[in-house]
Chains A and B, each alone.
Chain A
């Protein structure tokens, strides 16, 4: 039995540092190469020593596929390719290739310059690594080598996120990366066709959640912002640089447009501006509305959203400001927060989850006074709102994807173990599929059925089709094909008998079986033959029975009556090898009749 072996080096029953090793048909493929944001030691990168203790990985890995630019999916890539050593092909989509280096560089700066990490990859390494990347387009089928074929599908989630379908020989796997089954303001929903892979490796971040409609939350968000603006307040929205920030921008931008609002909206510069440029360029990766209207106006060419300058903080009048970072733990967003918090007209909207210990976490839990390191105390009188927009598929979405692509096995990664357990059960119950959720380092073996593709010669198929269609239609009838299986050097081929003989230079020999049955029947032989004809016809209503020159023929079976009048008749029954069943049936019938 051929099998598929999967070993998660990261993201097995865990979120972070996604890295899955896939081996099938003698090929080894690495899916994603991410880092863990929660660790600062060697645990932040996947354990590549699992693959080989020493030396470069190139000879062990045939290709690396990166699903999207989030650091937990691509963060370890320069480390692997430059420091551990890998020179094979790396595949990712165009937007991912464009945006990933920006994020990697940013992360490098933070860890090396701020935290003083040593033994970290350098800017040059990021550049070298990106040179090894081959960019792919959606639905483009690409041969990695003569055997591996990959194809990207749209995954929603963030710009350029893709699901990958990978085929080696007759085995195929779909790896989803992160995906989102509900569209949002700037991206569409994940889509895959009925590719029926042997295995679907799906993320399961929200394995135990079914989400409410997004519209409600959006409306709430907009209403709150609008009310605050109307009463002359300032709105602070701390965001992470990429992904949700763009969604919120689009949301506010269209709302400003719709309501003809005049209050300024600012976006803190930096990383985001570069990223916005890429959003502008990769219009084909966005949702229907943006795609359709970009000819008139690119939605990412924000009309109402302007870059922010620090001195605007003290400007009078209402305004909305997007500022990084998202958890209010440092930087510009915290600075603005300190200024605006004491005014009850103002508002801060937290668009995501906040880690314990951050200012964001404190105010979300209702803290009215926040103390900072330098004994500075800030009264929080501004209103604090929480608005979560998440871009992962929920349990229903995951099930829907499974339904759409109809895999034979499912594997869950990128989620918490106990949540996975629930979804695993559900998948087994409702789809009756095998479901796996290996832990990191645990190898999972999936057996796949043996499939042997055979070439069939066209005339053979055509003649069969003709024969089948000529009969009255019956969906239940079996379709049979007579032919010779010819095995050449490394191909198997089904051929017509005559053709095969000709090709092999063999004269065809036909074996006929014949047998004689004695019948006592007076009268000329012809009349006996007639009687037999009628008899056989009655007994074989499904078959074409012909009668010519005293011989009855059914397919290749011949029945012939010989003998003089008033004598015992000899009935010869003869048939070829192919019609053995029919021939012996008729013979048997004639024998029985005699008794």
Chain B
């Protein structure tokens, strides 16, 4: 390692000047890296060994070694190809020849290889070969290399296709498959008779004796379609024949093709076999895919279930059949449980639940009228949802949802089935069903009995299921007040059982209230315990149940003005309290007598942006003495901090700017005092101060770099340039003030300079005064030793002025974390047996993260021992803020739901353990001071730690 570093530090810097008109020449600094000698040509050397290999197995071994360490210089490629092909011609063993051809394909993928020449060479080599394996591999090579040639070279592609057609006559299935694949991938796009001819040629292989060839022929047609060839819908009949194939690989591809044809030519008419009826092609294809839902093979069934969701143009008649299963019992018609439920509701009487024969069969069916193997769509989804394998079931749920979104009537029928899936044995399927129901919720109004079954699932132990249900309930419409009451009661009950669900329940009730004001209205007195003439006790405003009810009522009140007069005075007071503590959950209500508690909440206003602009431009205008400027900056920083609290829309920018100003302040403070120039002479305290200052400065830089998303290149470069300055300061400090080796920091600084130059040129930006000076000075430097570098840097640093503060960019968001649990407010301490492990539930909401993989949990024990925990990826779930979709957010919003394991030896009393969320920055500059690798990565806290009181108890010896 040190050797490499030394080499890098001692490497030459050359100056290249690019003479591009009219743009100004950008000076380039380049660290010349010497290529390690002797390793680059290893592959070629190995290939050369081929000549001397005595036996085929030896040659094969050599070739395998070549492919293990594959590395070729562009100018060696022709030679390598030539050597390989020479050996090919003299090689008796087909396995070796196969390997050579596959190597040729690898060679062709290298940068700078002449692909066309290699293709020609391959074709030439194949000419006299008789081994099927070799020809198949040759075709494979041609296929892969052909993909590298742009589509515009139609002549070459045509040539490949012609060759493939020639080899189609081969007996082996492998060769035939590859040839068909080449035809599919490379046939130049054409139309009319020519395309027709190609299709006919491929379709002749639909009935080949080998299943693999048949399968490939069908997928070639699909490939051709994807490449915008027009498929003749007449092949539909032939294709459907192949659905009965014995091999699942064929059935799978055919199923795709049938679906494709159906979606491409939905309106074509096809004749029903055995009758005069004509139906739409899409309907027929839909029926065929539905039939495949009862296929032997799970893969075919899964595919069929998936494909059903894509066939959105199918007529409603066929669609509704998919959920239809005629029940009978002993030849008598029987109603399904769903129908029974529906009848109970419409007839106004409820299921007695007492009679064991209340689903007794009714009318006698005519034996001839029953079609057991009813072709077509009948009951396809019923089968799919009952399937043995979760893959099929979950695909069926998805498709059901997709189709329901487009068809309100179907959505209503499918509702019962989706609700049934809440009871699936696999949690993923249950979750999917819940989510599907949420997605189709705009089409459906829940009946009370349906709501009841849905609410039954609410008691699930899995938090995901419960929260999914909360989201679903929030977006559903309910039909009656009784239903709504049941729902609210169940939610409140559940909250008692699972107090963690507080936030999710709040949000759910907020939406329910806003959606059903007229249903909430009659419930208000009941929910809030309002008595007509007695004053009831004032409920505790911290009680989650009561907050739930308040949220529901207040959100309904927004849309139903008659609610407010019903409320008691203390409720209104509580409203004021809640709207201050949980502003997102309650709407702004216009209260009649709001003289006392009118709160004017500053909403997002354009003024705040203007203010921000003002603050920043004021800083720019003043060209004052350092002292005045420092004061100005100080004030500006405070302004900005306050602003970030007030207005969320510019908070990110304000925070960014304030942080930047803070960093500048530290920098100017250090520079002003002048100690940094000769730290060796300082007293201990001053030296310590300086060291802390520099450390703080570097930390500020890290925060600027890693805490923000939505930075434009301008801002990014500004930050980086500032960081460069801080690093320069650091380097000088190390060289001057300590006797530690400065080689590593110097090397690091140089790398940063190099990166900086590349970044600037990429973004097309001008370096600021300091950076430009650094570039200039370093480029003339002979040997970048730490001493010389720092000597150069000192004047630049002391002369350079503070840079302008970047213009406000409202896209900027600052990463933040909010620890929801533990709250740190409980008095009780958690007890556990010392030495064993205790899990502490931990929930945090992380906003606007740059890179989720950096998130760490930090646990700090009272003895100052710190543990850093990498949360499991499964515990970090994407989290969508209300109403926002995946694309509309900047950065990653995540929800961290995990349990932190705490363990310690015996303590005499309970102490606080601090837990917080931090970002790990292994590449941080602070850690780079020493060249040691594997040191603990730098962590920057995302939020304030939360304290958990913990008491490890000694083991009780009961024996």
A residues neighboring B (CB under 8 Å): 182-183, 185, 188-189, 191-194, 208-220, 222-224, 226, 254, 257-260, 287-289, 350, 364, 366, 383-386, 395-396, 399-400, 403-404, 419, 422, 425-426, 430-431, 462, 465-466, 469-470, 473-475
Contacts and interface: CB of A to CB of B under 8 A. Distances in A.
A528 to B, nearest CB: 36
Given A188-B388, A213-B386, A430-B371, 14 more contacts: A210-B326, A211-B327, A213-B382, A213-B385, A216-B336, A223-B453, A260-B461, A287-B388, A288-B389, A385-B356, A395-B328, A400-B294, A422-B367, A469-B169
Contact of A215 (B294, B331, B420): B420
B337 A396 contact: no
Interface of B: 168-171, 201, 204-208, 246, 294, 296, 325-331, 334, 336-338, 353-357, 367, 370-373, 382, 385-390, 417, 420-426, 453, 456, 459-462
A182 B456 contact: no
A12 B672 CA distance: 106
A261 to B, nearest CB: 8
Given A215-B423, A396-B372, A289 B390 contact: yes
A219 B420 contact: yes
Contacts of B373: 399, 403, 430-431
Given A183-B386, A257-B461, A430-B373, A222 B355 contact: no
Contacts of A208: 328-331
Contact of B338 (A194, A216, A474): A216
A217 B207 CA distance: 46
A183 B326 contact: no
Given A183-B388, A215-B386, A217-B337, A258 B462 contact: yes
A408 to B, nearest CB: 16
Contacts of A462: 171
B171 A466 contact: yes
Main secondary structure of the interface of A (DSSP, over half): helix
Nearest to B423: A219
A404 B296 contact: yes
Given A219-B420, A475-B204, A350 B356 contact: yes
Nearest to A404: B296
A191 B389 CA distance: 13
Contacts of B330: 208-209, 419
B296 A212 contact: no
With most chain A CB atoms within 10 A of its CB, the pick from B329, B425, B453 is B425
B420 A465 contact: no
Given A216-B338, A383-B354, A210 B388 contact: no
Contact of A259 (B355, B425, B453, B460): B460
Contact of B331 (A403, A422, A470): A422
A218 B426 contact: no
B282 to A, nearest CB: 24
A213 B326 contact: no
Contacts, number: 131
Contacts of A288: 388-390
Contacts of B204: 473-475
A426 B370 contact: yes
Contacts of B207: 475
Contacts of A217: 337
A210 B370 CA distance: 11
Nearest to A350: B356
17 contacts: A188-B388, A193-B296, A208-B328, A209-B330, A212-B327, A212-B337, A215-B385, A219-B420, A260-B459, A287-B388, A289-B426, A364-B356, A385-B356, A395-B328, A396-B325, A419-B330, A469-B171
Nearest to A220: B337
Nearest to A251: B425
Contacts of A404: 296
Contacts of B453: 219, 223
B357 to A, nearest CB: 8
With most chain A CB atoms within 10 A of its CB, the pick from B327, B330, B423, B453 is B423
Contacts of A350: 356
Contact of B353 (A191, A224, A469): A224
A400 B383 CA distance: 11
Contact of B388 (A189, A212, A260): A189
A419 to B, nearest CB: 7
Contacts of A260: 459, 461
Nearest to B337: A216
A188 B204 CA distance: 40
B611 to A, nearest CB: 52
Given A210-B327, A213-B420, A475-B207, A182 B356 contact: no
A379 to B, nearest CB: 16
Nearest to B358: A386
A212 B169 contact: no
Contact of A185 (B334, B385, B425, B456): B425
Contacts of A192: 296
Contacts of A213: 325, 336-337, 382, 385-386, 417, 420
With most chain B CB atoms within 10 A of its CB, the pick from A185, A213, A287, A475 is A213
B356 A386 contact: yes
